[in-house]
Amino acid sequence: MPPNWGESFFGIALWVVFKCKTTDRNPYIRAFITNASMGITKSYRFYLLTANIGEEVQSRVECIEADKIMVRSGDVIMVWFESSLYFTYDGGTFGGAEVPAGELAVEMCGAHIIQKNTLL
């Protein structure tokens, strides 16, 4: 995290390029952000919102806003994605548990730190 950003940190944009075969129309993977400076790791559900199930390459971008991340200016952070595909089953015997939802192949992934636009 740039040490001179102070209050101008807006969030982190996570992106992933993938192929999937899923049994559910609202699958997600987990993204993890580790703050090595604080010794904290937090997971975030990264919904793929896929309507194109199969071998087609797809992409998804999501922003996690600063107030949802334990990060300060100057902190050392690491971001990674789990390669398992899940959905949350809200009924029956699973009772809201995470259930495997098919196959996932991550082609590329990354994270970008976003700064607030101070000109507005």
Q: Which of 79, 63, 71 is nearest to 9 (CA)?
A: 71
Q: Which amino acid is at 62?
A: E
CB 60 within 8 A of CB 49: yes
Alpha carbon distance, N-terminus to C-terminus of the chain: 23
Residue appearing with tokens 């000109």: 119
pLDDT given for residue 90 in this prediction = 64
Specify the pLDDT at position 82.
85
What does pLDDT average to in each consecutive run of 10 residues of the chain (120 residues)?
Answer: 75 90 80 93 84 75 89 87 79 67 86 78
